[in-house]
Amino acid sequence: MSRMGDVLAGFHAAWEFESDSVLIRFERGIRTPKLFQALGERRIPHEAISAVTLSPGKRGTVVLHAVPRPGADPLMEAAAGQLKENCDPYRLVLPAERETLAEYYADELRAQLPPDDGESPDRFLVAPPEAPLQFKAYDGKASFDGKLVSFRWFWTGASSAKWKAGDQSFPVTDLSGIEWRSPEVFEGHLRLLRRETPVAQPAQADQDPAAVVFGLGYGPVHESLPFAASVLAAVRASGPA
C-alpha cells in the first residue's frame, strides 16, 4: 500500500499521492510546457478521476494517465479536447525504466477511486485557476476579476463592429458559458455565451462584441485557457445556465 505523501516524479511534473487526492506539481524549467508553468500545481480529488492507464510513450518513455471525469475540471471542460498530448496536465511521462514503479502507483490509485456511475458531477471538483487574470488577444485585452469579464478593444485589431459597440463588460451572472477555440487552430477565439440576448450572437468571433479573437502571439494557450476555465467556473457557480 502506498503511503500518503509518496511522490512519483516524471518529466515536467511530480505527482504526490494523498489519501483523497493527487497533488500535481509542475516544474518551471525552460523545457516545461508554458501551460504547466502557468498552472503551477493542481489538486485532483479521487472523485474527479474516472480511470487510470499506463501506456508506452515516445522515445523510451511510459505515460501514466489519470483520465479526468467529464464535468469535473473546468480547465478540461473549457479545453473541450483541444489540448495537445504534451500539454495534457493529467499525463505524467516517465523514463521506461520506471515502468514497474509507475505500474505500482497506477494500481494503488485505481484502488482508491470511487465507483464511476457514468454521470457528470453537479459541480466542478477541481479548483479553477484563480482570478484576477488577463491576456492580450489580437483585437483586445481581456480581463477577469472573478465577477466581471471585460474586453477593451485595440484600434489596430478590432473590427468596426466592435468599435461601434465599444468596450464591453459582462457580469458572470449574465453568462451561460464560454466557447474556447484553441489559438493553435484556424479562427481561434474566446467567446462568452450570454444567457439572454436581444439578437443572436454573430457567427464570426471578430464581429461579436462578446468575443476576442486570437492570432500569432495573441491569446496563447497558457494564458487564454486558464482564463476561460476561471470564467467558466464562476459562471457555473453563479447559478443554472
Give the pLDDT confidence of 101-136 residue by residue, as tens digits.
Answer: 999 999 999 999 998 777 889 999 999 999 999 999
Q: Is residue 123 part of a domain?
A: no
Q: Report pTM.
A: 0.94
Could you give the CA distance from residue 172 to residue 168 in angstroms, rounded to a whole number?
A: 13
What number is the average pLDDT over the span 24-43? 95
Report whether pLDDT(44) > 60: yes
Whose grid coordinates read 484600434?
155
Per-residue model confidence as pLDDT tens digits over 11-21: 999 999 999 99
Report whether pLDDT(1) > 70: no
Structurally, how many domains does the chain consist of?
Answer: 2
Q: Are residues 89 and 149 in the same domain?
A: no
Q: Is residue 128 part of a domain?
A: no
The grid cell for 228 is 476561460
198 contact partners, CB below 8 Å, separation of at least 6:
none
Among residues 59, 81, 112, which one ends one of the domains?
Answer: 112
Indicate which CATH number applies to the domain containing 56: 2.30.29
Q: Are residues 158 and 108 in the same domain?
A: no
| Strand duo 175-181 + 189-194: pairing | antiparallel
The grid cell for 172 is 458572470
Among residues 80, 112, 144, which one ends one of the domains?
Answer: 112
Q: Is residue 121 part of a domain?
A: no
Q: Is residue 92 part of a domain?
A: yes
Are 102 and 64 contacting, i.e. CB atoms less than 8 angstroms apart?
yes
Instruction: Name the strand (E) or helix (H) holding 235.
Output: helix 221-238
Cβ atoms < 10 Å from Cβ of 159:
18
> What pLDDT does 198 receive?
67
Per-residue model confidence as pLDDT tens digits over 193-223: 999 876 788 889 999 999 999 998 999 999 9
In terms of DSSP H, where are the helices of 69-152? 74-79, 99-112
In terms of DSSP H, where are the helices of 4-57? 34-39
Q: Are residues 92 and 156 in the same domain?
A: no
114 contact partners, CB below 8 Å, separation of at least 6:
46, 47
> What pLDDT does 66 receive?
98
193 closest CA partner among 228, 226, 146, 152: 228
Q: Are residues 106 and 153 in the same domain?
A: no
Q: Is residue 118 part of a domain?
A: no
Q: Are residues 63 and 97 in the same domain?
A: yes
Q: Are residues 63 and 34 in the same domain?
A: yes
- For 186, the domain range is 133-238
